[in-house]
Every structure is written in C-alpha cells, then in structure tokens.
Amino acid sequence: MEMKLFCERLKEMRKLCNYTQRDMAAMLGIKQPSYARYENGTSEPTLECLAHIAVILDCSTDHLLGLKDY
C-alpha cells in the first residue's frame, strides 16, 4: 500500500465526515495518539481496524488504500 496516499485519503475522508481524530479513535476503541499515527504514516492499522475505518467513513478499503478513486 502506498502509505502516503492512505494517510491523505484517511484524513480527507475523516474531515468529509466531520469527525475529529478523537472521534475516530473513540469509535475504533483506541487512543487518539494511536489514530494520529495512522494519519501521519508512522503506524498502519490492522486489517480488522482498516475494515472498521472503512465502515465508519462509509467508503471502501480500496479507496482508502488508493486502489480505486471512489
């Protein structure tokens, strides 16, 4: 996965949904600094967490991973 593109799309989709990093972390059951590391590229979510992020943001994992533009 192109980490930079994932980070950009994750942040973009979060903002489109009007969620803060703290909101996302709470919905994922993790701490805000852990979520922030996903957006800044210093950590990658597990597959389970990635799937949960896609559900929360109402988008596909393919979009988040940069495999599709929609």
Domains along the chain with CATH numbers = 3-65 (1.10.260.40)
Per-residue pLDDT at 69 exceeds 90: no
> What secondary structure does DSSP assign to the chain, as a single string?
--HHHHHHHHHHHHHHTT--HHHHHHHHTS-HHHHHHHHHTS----HHHHHHHHHHHTS-HHHHHTS---
Percentage of residues in the chain having pLDDT higher than 90: 89
pTM reported for the whole predicted model = 0.92
State the burial class of residue 28 (Cβ atoms within 10 Å of its Cβ: 0-12, 13-18, 19+).
middle
- The residue type at 11: K
Tens of pLDDT, residues 38-48: 999 999 999 99
